Amino acid sequence: MLEGEALEAERIRAHDLRKVPLSSREAGDLIMMGIGGFTPLTGFMTRLDWERVCDGMVMANDLFWPIPITLSTDREIADTIKEGDDIALVNFDNEEPMGVMTVTEKYTIDKAHECMMVYKTTDKNHPGVKMLMEQGDVNLAGPVKVLSLGDFEKKFPGLFLTPAETRAHFEAKGWRAVAAFQTRNPMHRSHEYLVKVAIEVCDGVLVHSLLGALKPGDIPAEVRSRAIDALIDNFFVEDTVLHAGYPLDMRYAGPREALLHALFRQNYGCSHQLVGRDHAGVGDYYGPFDAHHIFDEIPQGALETQPLKIDWTFWCYECGDMASMRTCPHGDDKRLLLSGTKLRKMLSDGGEVPKEFSRPQVLNILREHYAGLKDEEKVEIELTGHSAR
């Protein structure tokens, strides 16, 4: 990320360069490069990087990286760009210059191959596959200068934090062992349980909320962050949790995305990452604990951030508490299984949500959100479990 006079000079220069619009996903990736979240990346990947990351989860320089970070455009735009050109990377909505890239390579990829290696499917009903298959046909590679953080700072003041800011917080609090909790959902009782388990064995927890784009039906970041803050304020000991947000879109890549989450949490200063059931998954594309297993398959030393693997969690009426498969001896008839999908369906129906499922302070905020949905959105949730919003 450029600053001061260098930033102003590059913004002026960007207006005279060939403009290439960024998708929401690419804009988030660019911002992560700018704030140091994607260190050691200095730009969008080359074809050799793409190939080696897809097939072996390492870049051309042999550094570990689990998911390709690429920039695409359509052939019409690509034909106007030569290798060695500087181009302006602009916001898709308003053409604000977000970065300048020196193009070192133009190349095409086998999109189906990336889908199979990263998402384990080519089914276009998978939101990550759909996003990849609809991207431009030509990839552009090269180093970037970042000129803008988009609207994240303005939209989420105090929540959008850079890696330098989270590290400074941990240092000021004296936290040496810090676990990251990844979330794209409001936190129900199962999530609360996971975070409290981590607090027992670490100095603190970073509740790290995704602030970028989601699939239809997921709770918007503004609503989710209010609900999470309400939970933290009422049910956690002060100075044991830091709630922060980061600017990426969800890829829904399951195990591969779990590795990406752990990788950039190193840059945010985390020593551990909570990995629960179906981490970063969607639908039935991944096994419930595939994200656990993949950490055992990568080379030793590939990641500094280590997984805290937690089994399936639920409320047990016999135990009278939250529990997991490893701690509860009772049968399924005594258990209330918790999930974001179930919670969204209950809220959409306007019915009662069991107190064992979610805290009332959280439910009040979510009910307010669902009350504002249009009738057709509520009908769609009733039919599919997802909304059009």
From the candidates 52, 184, 265, 344, which is the catalytic residue?
184
d(CA 355, CA 335): 14
Give CA–CA dist 123/115, Å, rounded: 9
Helix (H, G, I), strand (E, B) or coil at 73: strand
Count CB neighbours of 181 within 10 A: 25
Q: Which residues, in sequence order, are CB contacts of 127 under 8 Å at separation 6+?
A: 215, 250, 252, 282
What the block records as the tokens of 200 is: 């027992």
Catalytic residue among 25, 52, 139, 185: 185
What is d(CA 247, CA 180) in angstroms, rounded to the nearest whole number?
A: 16
Transcribe 45-70 into DSSP letters: PPHHHHHHHHHHSB-TTS-B-SS---
208 forms bridges with which residues in the sheet?
A: 182, 244
- Comparing CA positions, the residue from 279, 294, 281 lying closest to residue 121 is 281
State the pairing for strand pair 138-146/105-107: antiparallel
267 catalytically annotated: no
Burial label, 160 (beta-carbon count in 10 A; 0-12, 13-18, 19+): buried
β-strand pairing of 18-22 with 204-210: unpaired
Judge whether 68 and 44 are in contact, CB under 8 Å. Answer: no
Look up 94 and say whether it is catalytic.
no
What residues are annotated to the active site? Answer: 184-185
